[in-house]
Amino acid sequence: MSLSKKRIQDKIEIVGEFKTIQVRYQDQIIENGKVLSQATHRESIECDNIEKAKENNVEELAKLVWTSDVKKSYKDYKARM
């Protein structure tokens, strides 16, 4: 009997006006190649948080969708809040 735990990044979505990146993970408990249990976890990465994007392996996607116009709009929005 061999038990192992595996985390899989199984879904990446870009949502909203400020291109928030949502990353969904599946944590799986596996025995002899068969998934016994799984749970999902989601990370939400706000515009211009490149460090969190790096941690979640979506840095290149962030650079692509967080254009200078999107970053400026997001900064203006936060200043109004």
Partners of 22 in the β-ladder = 13, 44
pLDDT tens digit sequence for 49-77: 999 999 999 999 999 999 999 999 999 99
Mean pLDDT of the chain: 95
Q: What is the pLDDT of residue 52?
A: 97
The pTM assigned to this predicted structure is: 0.86
CA angle 71, 77, 79 (to 5 degrees): 105
Predicted pLDDT at 2: 86
> How many domains does one find in the chain?
1
- Domain containing 53: what range? 3-80
Name the one residue in this structure whose structure tokens are 């709009």: 73
What is the C-alpha to C-alpha distance for residues 33 and 37, in angstroms, rounded to an integer?
A: 12
Q: Is the pLDDT of residue 1 over 80?
A: no
